[in-house]
Structure 1
Amino acid sequence: MTADDFRHELAAMFEAAADAGRGAIVVRADDLHRGVGGYPGDGHRMPLCCNVMHAEMVVGVDEVLSAPPSGQGASVAIKYVLPRPGANGD
């Protein structure tokens, strides 16, 4: 499981929500990780999953709705605004 795996799954979630006409999507780390696989389980990569989620945020646009004190965990939830900047050549 790599950062690219999480990025690709997150991009697929963005695309599905945008195709459905939604203006935003809330992504929880546990849902994203389940989509990639390996969670729950001993070999989970939750810190990497959360790092990718945070890296995909656009400052001043997207919003962290919940997170544990460490900032990394299954309960991390981020609201991403759609469409994503650059999605249509922006």
Structure 2
Amino acid sequence: MSNLTTETFLNCIELLKQIGRQNNLPQLVITAEEVHKLVGGYPGKNHRMPMCCNAMFKSMREGDEILHSTPSKQSNTTKIKYYL
């Protein structure tokens, strides 16, 4: 999946937020692993986890919370709560 871009991950996260809003959810809690699996290419030797995590952080708005991160900020365990 070498054709993955940051925009691909950003679009996936935005779609998940829209689905949450349509279902009247107050928040979306998701990990980088879940996002990357939805987009494809994970797990795999050519994964784009750093790109995925960067997109997750870039998608944050005021009030959203980082529930888990690592010093590298590029882990599949990165977890963010987005308020919808």
Q: TM-score, normalised by structure 2?
A: 0.92
> Which residue identity is paired with 2:29?
V
Secondary structure, in 3 states, of the residue corresponding to 2:72? Answer: coil
Is 2:25 the counterpart of 1:22?
A: yes
Q: In the aligned structure 1, how far is the partner of 2:82 from the partner of 2:12?
A: 14
Structure 1: segments with no counterpart, 5+ residues: 83-90
Q: In the aligned structure 2, how far is the partner of 1:10 from the partner of 1:55?
A: 10
Structure 2: segments with no counterpart, 5+ residues: none
Partner of 2:77: 75
Secondary structure, in 3 states, of the residue corresponding to 1:14? Answer: helix
CA root-mean-square deviation: 0.8
Partner of 2:42: 39
> Which residue identity is paired with 1:37?
G
Structure 1 residue 81, shift from structure 2 partner: 0.6
Structure 1 residue 38, shift from structure 2 partner: 0.2
Structure 1 residue 25, shift from structure 2 partner: 0.4
**Equivalent residue pairs, number:** 81
Partner of 1:86: none
Residues 42-57 of structure 1: matches in 2 within 5 Å?
42-57=45-60
CA deviation profile, 1:29-84 (whole Å, cap 9, x unmatched):
0000001000000110000000010011113x1000011221111000000010xx
